[in-house]
Chain A
Amino acid sequence: MRITVPTARVLAALLADPDADHYGLELMQAAGLASGTLYPILRRLTEAGWLTASWEDVDPAEAGRPARRYYRLTAEGATEARRALAELRAQTTPGSPLGRPATGGGAW
């Protein structure tokens, strides 16, 4: 999977609590991304099997609000996300043998 800067931010936000359910607004704030950037990334990660999506188990009438959609890292997703972020870190560390300048519209 192509890991862009915004994707890396989303993965980092998810890995901050890998076993928890996360919802869109929370991830927008944690990753510092706009909604129009975040949701297409979440869809891409879900299609790749890195995330599972589920609806909040809540009665809208009782809670006084609609149910949210939650995202959670899969086991494979957590492993791949850690690996991807580690590679990024290695590539961007000065003096690293893998280090090279980032190119192409923010894609690493």
Chain B
Amino acid sequence: MSDRLARALLDLAVRRSPADVQDDNRREWDAELYALSAEGRTTQALRFAASLAVARHRNGPLLTGRGVWHAVRLIVVAPVTVIVLLAASLVAMSLAPPTSTGSATSLMAIFVAVAAVLLAALGRVWAAGGPLLRIVAVVVPGFAVSALISSWVGPPADHVPTHAMFFGLFAVVLVLASRLARAGRGVAAWTTGILGALLAASVATVLLLWLSLLGTPLPETVVWSQAALWFPSAYTGLPLGLSEDGAWWVADLTEFDPYLFVGFAGLALGVVLGRLAHPVAATDALPSGGPRGR
């Protein structure tokens, strides 16, 4: 993990250095990082890469206006866009002809799914940084914003751990999917990402219900053996095998959270898997079987 982080920082440092010396810098710094890693000096390797990443290069200010905008766009504007699109889905649902609660929720599910696809496309365009930085850039702000919004809608003691669980599990999924994508296995990467997001959302939904019902008698219609159906039922508004009363309980307790999971998952998958940078360009200069491969 630390090796990957050092590589990501070094990649950032190279891109921040003047264009005419980037190739030489990459080769030179890669050789030194290789030596540190080979000697097991993990901390020094990280310090070496981190110091270069924040260095003030001649002809290259610490942060260019363009670089700042790309970072702000990914870290601030993108999560806000998720919320705006989810709110727009809510408004679109409310403008639809009045029907039953269940069908309105199903309509919302369709709008949010479309929003997630749009967010994935947007994430692909707005992606910046190396693979690990991209994951951090979507997971940390995503957790902060979604936990804030869901805590505004419901009790923070229930919702903050829920979103921590979702984004924690989803981060692991993103790491795996990113590895697959860089290995050229695009379909497997997207499949892993989507299924992993749904699994993380299911686990987080179970945690949310458990926290919400902690210390209170469990409604008879909420059955733990059907926990795997809670997230799909809450998201789609369909019972999907749950009793009508059980589905109502689940939807009532999960509130806006399933839509936040899907919206942020769409953005994150677009950022992390869309238009991935060249795998690790510096590997060409290295012999095989070195510390890079560990």
State the A residues within 8 Å of B (CB): 23-25, 28, 34-37, 39-40, 43-44, 53, 55, 60-61, 63-69
Contacts and interface: CB of A to CB of B under 8 A. Distances in A.
B214 interface: no
Contacts of A36: 13, 51-56
Interface of B: 13, 21, 24-25, 27-32, 34-36, 38, 47-49, 51-58, 285-287, 290
Nearest to B13: A36
Nearest to B28: A69
B240 to A, nearest CB: 55
Given A36-B51, A67-B31, A68-B28, A25 B36 contact: yes
A24 B28 contact: yes
B41 to A, nearest CB: 10
B57 A61 contact: no
B94 to A, nearest CB: 53
Given A24-B29, A36-B52, A36-B54, 19 more contacts: A25-B35, A25-B36, A25-B48, A35-B32, A35-B48, A35-B51, A36-B51, A36-B53, A36-B56, A37-B51, A37-B55, A39-B28, A39-B29, A53-B24, A60-B285, A60-B287, A61-B287, A64-B290, A68-B32
A63 B285 CA distance: 12
Contacts of B36: 25
The DSSP consensus for interface residues of chain A is helix
A29 to B, nearest CB: 10
A104 B13 CA distance: 27
A50 to B, nearest CB: 15
Contacts of B31: 65-69
Given A60-B287, A65-B287, A35 B58 contact: no
A35 B52 contact: yes
Contact of B47 (A24, A34, A43, A65): A34
Contact of B57 (A23, A25, A40): A40
Nearest to B36: A25
Nearest to B48: A35
A63 B55 CA distance: 30
Given A34-B47, A67-B31, A68-B31, A39 B56 contact: no
A99 B193 CA distance: 66
A63 B286 CA distance: 10
A28 to B, nearest CB: 8
- Which of B38, B51, B53, B286 is packed against the most chain A CB atoms within 10 Å? B51
A43 B21 contact: yes
Contacts of B30: 66
A34 to B, nearest CB: 4
Given A64-B287, A64-B290, A34 B51 contact: yes
Nearest to A24: B32
B35 A65 contact: yes
Contacts of B32: 23-25, 35, 68
A73 to B, nearest CB: 18
A66 B30 CA distance: 8
